[in-house]
Structure 1
Amino acid sequence: MSVVSVPEQTAAQPGAARRTGRRPVRTLALNIAAVLIGLAAWSLLSVVGVQGLPGPLTVAERAGELIADGTLATDVLASLRRVLLGFVLGTALAVPVGFLMGWYTTARGLLEPYVQFFRTIPPLAIIPLAIVLLGIGEVPKVFVIFLAAFLSSVVAAFQGVVDVDRTLINAARVLGASDRTIFAKVVVPASLPFILVGMRIGLGSAWGTLVAAELIAAQEGLGFRMQQAQLYYDLPTIFVGLISIGVLGLAMDRLLLFAGRRLTSWQETR
């Protein structure tokens, strides 16, 4: 039997630690380089005369104007409130529904046809129905975003339960664990990576649905501001809205990724 000596373990661990420590720094450097390259390419395209394309400085000036008069802050808060509310509600419902479908065959047979049916319908196609049934207030806007987040997350939660290693479940049964214990101690932890991936996809869907959701008689919000700017061919304002949505979405995605790494620290990553 091969045994690794303590000195060898001690020698190997610092090297691994150094590699692990260098990885975030290298990733950050690559991220900054990617942003700078993107800004340079954007500037070049605006200089060579792509029709109507504003440069980064023009967009930055417009962003400064919108920040100074409070418009951007108001729009960001309105859109962020709608996305967070729809995303949280959608995810909160998707996880238990996904667990029910994955754990109980009866629930799967009853619920899966509806989930798969509505997954084929874009949430944007629900907007006319939402307006007719729910009016033109905040409820239909949040509902459309909720639907986008729910349909993206429920399948991930369901798949996480279905893909749990049966060996782990059988081993727990042999040791005398009840179904409740198996579900809480085996199924839920094993499904967590799937759920977090589904949440990230659902978050992207929620932000992707935002602009269309704010078509419903909105008076504020990033999507609303972009639609108003379109009427007057105000491209800098449109770019400010696009960049704001991208930055907010990226920040929220990074937070989910960080939380996922903390919750699944037991899982091997590379």
Structure 2
Amino acid sequence: MTTVSAKPVRTTARPPRPAPLWRRLVRTGTFRTLGPFVPVIALWWLVAALEVFPESFFVGPPEVVDKLGELLEKGILPGYLSDSLTRLGYGVGFGLLIGLPLGYAVAMLPRLRRFCWPILLFFQAIADIAWLPIVIVWFGFSLTSVTFVLVYTIVFPLMLSVVAGVEQVPRELIRAARSLGAGRWRVFLEVIVPGALPSVAGGIRTGLGYGWRALVAAEIIVGTSGVGFMMFDARRVGDISQVFLGMAVLGALWYALDALILAPFERATVERWGMVRRLEADG
């Protein structure tokens, strides 16, 4: 009886096919950042080219780009941007200095919370722009008026976020820290503050978003410079391309600020201190 030995079959592994060019392009950070704006700009261009609206009411991207070059050459747009960012810096700084301590105080002191909670909800419901008439009477057309509106807009969402963050800290962690001999102040600094940071980071991001819109509204009504004032002044003289430019600058600047600073800060805070392993967000 003879046995036939099976010959080994040689298999040649095929090298993996490279991904198509369009798929590699879609995966790039540049495409994910700028790609969604391509159809928007194309639609804008098409509506302007078809003259759906009169040119005095609606202009296309080429006119806005020309206006951008003109204002950059004259130094007008950099000056207005500098004024707006300076006001935003003042508002954010004072808003954080006021909102964070008050938020933690309301969250940690039950009696203070019972007293202040209706007040927080009441003022949170009043829009920032509703304060502008009385603020003009109090402070006039000044930086103080704009700063007041910005601080008001940022403080209340931030305080509510701090309270929500403190409530989300597991009680087990607090009891464990106390059982190990940690005092009240140490529990606050090493357990409650880090545990509330994810919610606080989200509150800062939300508050700054509200503050950015409040800044534009305040500059339109009480400002004497800034991007909001530039848009309102352009409307007065009938320069619609400058109004479109102001809108584009505001959106692009906030998108850059959020994508480069606020979203990474929130994501890093949640991953470092949060009770979840990872924040699934694309900015």
Q: Same fold (TM over 0.5)?
A: yes
SS at match of 1:95: helix
8 A Cα contact 2:141 2:224, kept in partner: no
Q: CA deviation at 1:139?
A: 0.4
Q: Determine if the alignment matches structure 1 residue 166 to structure 2 residue 150.
A: no
Cα pair distance change 1:213/1:181, threshold 3 Å: same
Q: CA separation in 2, counterparts of 1:77 and 1:68?
A: 16
- The separation in 1 between residues aligned to 2:30 and 2:214, in whole angstroms, is 29
Q: Residue 41 of structure 1 aligns with which residue? A: 43
Q: Does 1:56 align with 2:55?
A: no
Q: Which amino acid aligns with 1:101?
A: V
Per-residue CA deviation, residues 143-197 of structure 1 (Å, 9 max, x unaligned), is 1111111122111111111121112112212222211111111111111111111
Identity of aligned residues (%): 31
Deviates more, 1:71-80 or 1:36-45: 36-45
Q: Which residue of 1 aligns with 2:217?
A: 212
CA contact (8 A) 1:196 1:260 kept: yes
Q: After superposing the two structures, state which structure 1 stretch, 57-66 or 260-269, moved more.
A: 260-269
Tell me the alpha carbon deviations over residues 193-238 of structure 1, each in whole angstroms, 9 at most, x when there is no partner.
1111111111111111122211454221111111111123321101
Unaligned runs of 5+ residues in structure 2 are 1-23
Distance 1:166 1:159 in 2: 14
Letter in structure 1 aligned against 2:267 = R
Instruction: Give how far 1:43 is off.
Output: 1.1
Structure 1 gap ranges (5+): 1-21
* Pairing 1:257–2:269 present: no
- Gap change, CA 1:186 and 1:28, over 3 Å in 2: farther
2:158 is matched by which residue type in structure 1? S
Whole-angstrom CA distance in 1 between matches of 2:49 and 2:125:
42
For the pair 1:187 / 2:192, whether they are aligned, the reply is: yes
Aligned to 1:16: none
Question: Which residue identity is paired with 1:32?
Answer: L
Structure having the higher Rg: 2
Q: Please tell me whether the aligned partners of residues 203 and 253 of structure 1 are also in contact (alpha carbons under 8 angstroms).
A: no
Residue of structure 2 in register with 1:175 after alignment: 180
Shift of 1:105: 0.3
1:107 match: 112
The residue aligned with 1:73 is: 78
Residue 93 (structure 1) shift? 1.2
Structure 2 CA distance, aligned partners of 1:59 and 1:127?
A: 30
Shift of 1:130: 0.8
SS in 2 for 1:53: coil
Counterpart residue identity of residue 116, structure 2: L
Q: TM-score, normalised by structure 1?
A: 0.86
Which has more helix, going by share of residues?
A: 1
Alpha carbons of structure 1 residues 214 and 71: separation in structure 2 relative to 1, 3 Å: same
Are the aligned partners of 2:124 and 2:156 in contact in 1 as well (CA < 8 Å)?
yes
Bigger shift: residues 79-88 or 31-40: 31-40
CA drift of 1:135 comes to 2.3
Alpha-carbon separation, structure 2, partners of 1:192 and 1:134: 35
Distance in 2, matches of 1:148 and 1:50, equals 38
Cα distance between partner residues in 1 of 2:116 and 2:256: 33
CA distance in 1, matches of 2:52, 2:208: 32
Q: Does 1:132 align with 2:132?
A: no
| 1:85 corresponding residue in structure 2 | 90
- Report how far residue 106 of structure 1 moved: 1.6
In the TM superposition, residue 82 of structure 1 has moved relative to its aligned partner by: 0.9
